[in-house]
Amino acid sequence: MQQNFYIRSYLLLGAFVACISSAFAQAPVATAKDITVNLDGSGSVFISPAQIDNNSQAACANTVFGIGGVVENTVLEGQALTLTAPTGNVFAATLYGRYETQPGATAPYDPTQPVYAFDPNSPAIIQSLLVGKTSASILATSNPPSQFSDPFYGIAKQLQVRATYATTSDAQQVKFTAPGTYNVALTVMNDCGSSFALAHVTVLPSHTVRLNANGFALVTPSVINDNSQLPCANATFGIGGVVSGVVRELQTLNLAAGAGNVLSTTLYGRYETIPGSIAPFDPTQLVYAFDPNSPAIVQNLVFNRASASILANSFPGSTPTALFSDPFYGIAKQLKVENLFATTTANEQVRYEAPGIYDVALITQGCGSTPTYTFTTVTVLPYEGSTVTALRQSTVPDVSSVSSVVSVAKQASLVLDAYPNPSTDGRFSVHVQATLSGPVQVNLFDMQGNLVSKMYDGQLELGEQRDFTVNRPELRQGLYIVRVQNGKQVSNLRVEVQK
């Protein structure tokens, strides 16, 4: 009897602890980061959740990460909304899907009363029409045989959908086949809830990189690897920029690796007779010879140095002391060097600080054999900054149709998103989530800095989400800035109106 009492007590205690743990468990917090990738030699690239994850928080059991490219569209009542997933993908989920009254609509019996309503079944209907398909066309109507019901009789409606796509409906990777910048959503789900965050994925052509905001670009082997395969399990790929030079004897050859790099492997380094030289004792005899020690001498002089200067000299007793021996007396000589450089002598990446087209080598090393080199070029593009670059990590999809927590980089004060963006009629909504408690002002400006609309001036608490509607059909075509100020912190989001 006493033993049963203890067993029941332990079971009750365990249940109590489980309840307490569940009460204090926190929903996951997704945080995404912008990345830049390259199309491979086949013209495609695959992105996984790990590539855009920025230390998301997920403490509960059964955590699953997912990824999806984001596509959206809005049509008015009576029109067909068409969505198509890029090549190699299918639709995986809907982040927002509603058959709803148009923003700014007013009640027909009271023009002073704004009305917003949506068919509560429309999110599930849209999800069923999209998931697993490569494309779908949905008619925005509540007339039979449509599955939608009229959310508010007598007011104009619209159909608005924001969906994610991936290679399969389990959303574990996204495929891109064309250069561009894409919105990609990171999802985190576990027993405590779900969370979403948005990143920008920039896809560049193969063999192409872009200078970053700090004025440099790092090139890794993956940028120039056109589907080369490693020959064995222990093999690795490396990369090296190529620098070369040739000088006549008694001249100095200067090599420089460029800022942030050091000279590494010497591919060719010879103190040699000039090609086409003729033996002085026989004008019909072509001669080519080189100092057999010169490759090792050159490698020793340049290895792990940012720059090197080498005098092409073999004259005995000269000052400074000659480095090389004469390969063939009486024939003019030259010093020719072709060298690799990288950020370290391990040849893992190369740094560039100026736009241009550069010679590089893909190195295949390992397997106990001599490394092999495949020569190609890499294109470095100028930095492409914009007024909203700093906001890209703080842009998230609207998730008002699901219960979730949205998180962004810690340095961002507010989460911003506008939809539809671009707007075709001057009507759009701005989604804001505060990551600080305090006063918040939301204003719309034109590109000349003129105030167009005061959208909000009040208080928001940490994590609070609000949607603000702009209903200005008279707005001219062009760019506008939504400015959100939270104390001393200011965030800007660019919105485009197309007519």
The answer to whether position 107 is within a domain reads yes
Write down which residue in 215, 241, 274 finishes a domain: 215
The answer, yes or no, to whether residue 16 has pLDDT greater than 50, is no
Same domain, 232 and 195: no
The backbone torsions φ and ψ at residue 105, rounded to the nearest 5 degrees and listed phi first, read -65, 145
Residue 444: strand, helix, or coil? strand
The answer to whether position 362 is within a domain reads yes
The answer to whether position 11 is within a domain reads no
Whether the pTM exceeds 0.75: the reply is no
Q: What is the mean pLDDT of the chain?
A: 82
Q: In this predicted model, what pLDDT tens digit does every residue of 170-219 receive, in sequence order?
A: 889 999 998 888 989 999 988 888 888 888 898 888 888 888 888 999 99
Q: What pLDDT is attached to residue 344?
A: 95
> Which amino acid is residue 148, in one-letter code?
F
- Mean pLDDT, residues 243-271 taken together: 95
Strand partners, 164: 70, 93
- Mean pLDDT, residues 35-47 taken together: 86
Q: What pLDDT is attached to residue 25?
A: 55
Higher pLDDT, 113 or 22: 113
Same domain, 244 and 279: yes
Of the given ranges (152-166, 310-324, 361-375, 422-436), which has the lowest mean pLDDT?
Answer: 422-436
The answer to whether position 109 is within a domain reads yes
The answer to whether position 440 is within a domain reads yes
Looking at mean pLDDT, say which of 175-189, 374-388, 403-417 comes out highest: 175-189
The answer, yes or no, to whether residue 15 has pLDDT greater than 70, is no
Same domain, 146 and 245: no
Q: How confident is the model at residue 243 (pLDDT cuts 50, 70, 90)?
A: very high
- pLDDT above 70 covers what percent of the chain? 86
Q: How confident is the model at residue 488 (pLDDT cuts 50, 70, 90)?
A: low
Q: In this predicted model, what pLDDT tens digit does every residue of 270-317 receive, in sequence order?
A: 999 998 888 888 888 888 999 999 999 999 999 999 999 999 999 887
Of the given ranges (152-161, 179-188, 362-371, 444-453), which has the lowest mean pLDDT?
Answer: 444-453
The answer, yes or no, to whether residue 410 has pLDDT greater than 50, is no
Contacts of 381 (CB under 8 A, 6+ apart): 204, 208, 209, 210, 211, 355
Q: Give the count of domains, the chain.
A: 3
The answer, yes or no, to whether residue 21 has pLDDT greater than 50, is no
- pLDDT above 90 covers what percent of the chain? 41
Same domain, 320 and 236: yes
The answer to whether position 208 is within a domain reads yes
Same domain, 235 and 205: no
The answer to whether position 61 is within a domain reads yes
Same domain, 57 and 122: yes
Q: Are 387 and 461 in contact (CB under 8 A)?
A: no
Q: What pLDDT is attached to residue 260?
A: 95
Same domain, 248 and 107: no
- Mean pLDDT, residues 393-414 taken together: 30
- How far is it, in rounded angstroms, from Cα 67 to Cα 279? 69
Same domain, 183 and 261: no
Higher pLDDT, 93 or 464: 93
The HSE-up count of residue 296 (CA atoms within 13 Å, CB side) is 4
- Mean pLDDT, residues 50-69 taken together: 91
The backbone torsions φ and ψ at residue 405, rounded to the nearest 5 degrees and listed phi first, read -120, 135
Write down which residue in 215, 248, 280 finishes a domain: 215
Write down which residue in 171, 193, 215 finishes a domain: 215
The backbone torsions φ and ψ at residue 319, rounded to the nearest 5 degrees and listed phi first, read -125, 125
Q: What pLDDT is attached to residue 415?
A: 55
Same domain, 130 and 92: yes
- How far is it, in rounded angstroms, from Cα 397 to Cα 32? 12
- Cα torsion through 441, 447, 448, 452, rounded to 10: -50
The answer to whether position 405 is within a domain reads no
Same domain, 36 and 185: yes
Q: What pLDDT is attached to residue 430?
A: 84
The answer, yes or no, to whether residue 146 has pLDDT greater than 90, is no
**In this structure, are strands 282-286 and 278-279 parallel, antiparallel, or unpaired?**
antiparallel
Same domain, 44 and 160: yes
The answer, yes or no, to whether residue 46 has pLDDT greater than 90, is yes
Same domain, 370 and 454: no
Q: What pLDDT is attached to residue 417?
A: 75
Range of the domain at 92: 30-215
Q: What pLDDT is attached to residue 19?
A: 41
- Mean pLDDT, residues 21-47 taken together: 79
- CATH code (residue 341): 2.60.120.740
- CATH code (residue 480): 2.60.40.1930
The 3-class secondary structure across 286-341, one letter per residue, is ECCCECCCHHHHHHHHHCCCCEEEEECCCCCCCCCCCCCCCCCCCCCEEEEEEEEE
